[in-house]
Structure 1
Amino acid sequence: MRSIWQTLDRTLARDIGLVCLADTIVGVSFGAIAVSSGLPIWLPMLLSVVVFAGAAQFMFVGIIASGGNPIAAVLAGLLVNARHVPFGFAVGDVLGRRWASRIVGSHLMIDETVAFALAQEEVARRRAAYWVCGAGLFVCWNVGVAIGGVGGAAISDPAVFGLDAAFPAVLLALVLPSLRDRAVRRATLVGVAIALATAPFLPAGLPVLLALAGVLAGLGPTKPSEPTEPTEPTTPGRDDTGPGREREAAC
């Protein structure tokens, strides 16, 4: 049985590394924003270990920092993470059969790990991509939150650094090669349009769920490939370039 590192090729490992780097930067931003908002440093660090869901953590901290009800903050986080229910059905085969691996794997189930797993065709590659990406992101996210929390007290406004833009930029760089396909490009444009149109009116996380409807646009008929012209068969052993062929052409 091949090891995980033998299963992952260089390109896939590089893509996972880029996402981990971007996730670290976003974690720094989250830790700095949480501490600079007046929350104790242990709270964002505890959330990062127990919850491990960036969108839900940002929403929870935002509601608490603005004086909101903690119960409302928890319910809002659960609503944002409702997308994990279909995620579980989609990647259930990569979590293993033992309860321990399924519990740990479920905790590592985030958008990035699911996306990398579903992009692989072989079961071994799906499992390797899921676990390597999940473990890497868990470590990088918590390290980033700790760094941001420590430095958050010294930064008056962490948002001025624009750290939250790093993650979308890296995701865009990973998606661009796939946009050469017409169906993928059509589905992406429809999904982006839906997300942009609904973002001002819906809570964070729901526009992303609605953007999945763009997949339906990619299921339409594609342009069939043009048939190739049949080539003239040649008789085995016959040389079409010999003198006899030249005499036929002269006649």
Structure 2
Amino acid sequence: MMSRFYEGCRDALPVSVSVLAYGSVLGVLAARKGVSLAQLAVMNTAVFAGTAQFVMLEMWQDHLPLIEITLAVLVMNLRYLLVGASLRSLFAGKPLWKKLAFMHLVADENWAMTMAAQRRGKASVGHLFGGGVCVYLFWSAGTLMGHTMGAAISNPEAFALDFAFIAVFLALVVGLWRGARNDLLPWIVAAAAAIACERLFPGKWYILAGGFSGSLAAALTGNKAPHTDTEEAAHA
């Protein structure tokens, strides 16, 4: 499993550099909101979801609206139900504690790297876990570094750090593109649903709408990702 772990770390390393960059933006914002370094470290470990953490900071105030924040984070992270479903074959036969522990370290970045590895027949739980640890370490380092420099950086947009968040997801999308014509329809449906929902409803529901619509379109058109082969999965 260790070889797969290191392979996952290596595959996730390029996107993790971008994760560090936009993590520093979160750290700067956290410092401005009065979030302490310790609170930010706990948030990184307990939540470990970049978009959800940005939403939490938007809602951060002296008297925390805990119920509202909890609901917002749950809505933002509902897409991980789809992510978990896509990893079902990878976790086949694994005990529940291992599924829960490893899924906590699943981020969009290492999930995308694992999906790419799955298409090469090299995906494994170890690969997924290694990528998750790599992303977590870079994310934590970026946020804590940004928090430390928060007083010195008055305008992070001037350094284009905010664009790193967009850039890394564009890179992931390009990496997941297989060139097949039947890949295109789910992407179009997901984009159209997300745009329509963003214009019609407040909040972040467009993320969930795009994810569910694209997944449904893929299921209806028979667009399926290949399964991890048995021999490779046995190394997890």
Unaligned runs of 5+ in 1: 223-251
Q: Is the contact between residue 39 and residue 65 of structure 1 (CA under 8 Å) also seen in structure 2?
A: no
Query: Which has the higher relative contact order, 1 or 2, with Cα contacts under 8 A spaced 6 or more apart?
Result: 2
Instruction: Kindly tell me the number of residue pairs found equivalent between the two proteins.
Output: 217
Q: Is the contact between residue 152 and residue 158 of structure 1 (CA under 8 Å) also seen in structure 2?
A: no
| % identical aligned pairs | 28
**Could you say which residue in structure 2 is the equivalent of 1:133?**
131
**Could you say which residue in structure 2 is the equivalent of 1:169?**
167
Unaligned runs of 5+ in 2: 224-236
Cα deviation digits, residues 175-201 of structure 1 (max 9, x gap): 336263222223222322222222242
**Could you say which residue in structure 1 is the equivalent of 2:56?**
60
> In the TM superposition, what is the alpha-carbon distance from 1:92 to its structure 2 partner?
4.2
Please state if 1:146 is matched with 2:155: no
Which of 81, 98, 107 is equivalent to 1:110? 107
> In the TM superposition, what is the alpha-carbon distance from 1:74 to its structure 2 partner?
2.1
Provide the rounded CA distance (Å) in 2 between the counterparts of 1:92 and 1:86. Answer: 10
Q: Is the contact between residue 33 and residue 159 of structure 1 (CA under 8 Å) also seen in structure 2?
A: no
> In the TM superposition, what is the alpha-carbon distance from 1:30 to its structure 2 partner?
0.5
Alignment RMSD: 3.1
Provide the rounded CA distance (Å) in 2 between the counterparts of 1:221 and 1:102. Answer: 27
- Per the alignment, do residues 181 and 121 of structure 1 end up closer, same or farther by CA in structure 2, a change over 3 Å counting? closer
**Could you say which residue in structure 2 is the equivalent of 1:233?**
none
Provide the rounded CA distance (Å) in 2 between the counterparts of 1:197 and 1:41. Answer: 38
**Could you say which residue in structure 2 is the equivalent of 1:203?**
203
> In the TM superposition, what is the alpha-carbon distance from 1:125 to its structure 2 partner?
1.9
- In the superposition, the TM-score normalised over structure 2's length comes to 0.76
**Could you say which residue in structure 2 is the equivalent of 1:187?**
186
Cα deviation digits, residues 45-65 of structure 1 (max 9, x gap): 220122111111111111014
Q: Is the contact between residue 108 and residue 134 of structure 1 (CA under 8 Å) also seen in structure 2?
A: yes
Cα deviation digits, residues 104-125 of structure 1 (max 9, x gap): 2021122233333334147752
Provide the rounded CA distance (Å) in 2 between the counterparts of 1:108 and 1:67. Answer: 30
Q: Map 1:71-86 onto structure 2 (within 5 A).
A: 71-86=67-82
Name the amino acid aligned to 2:65.
N
- Per the alignment, do residues 216 and 49 of structure 1 end up closer, same or farther by CA in structure 2, a change over 3 Å counting? closer
> In the TM superposition, what is the alpha-carbon distance from 1:6 to its structure 2 partner?
8.1
- Per the alignment, do residues 140 and 66 of structure 1 end up closer, same or farther by CA in structure 2, a change over 3 Å counting? same
Q: Is the contact between residue 94 and residue 123 of structure 1 (CA under 8 Å) also seen in structure 2?
A: no
- In the superposition, the TM-score normalised over structure 1's length comes to 0.72
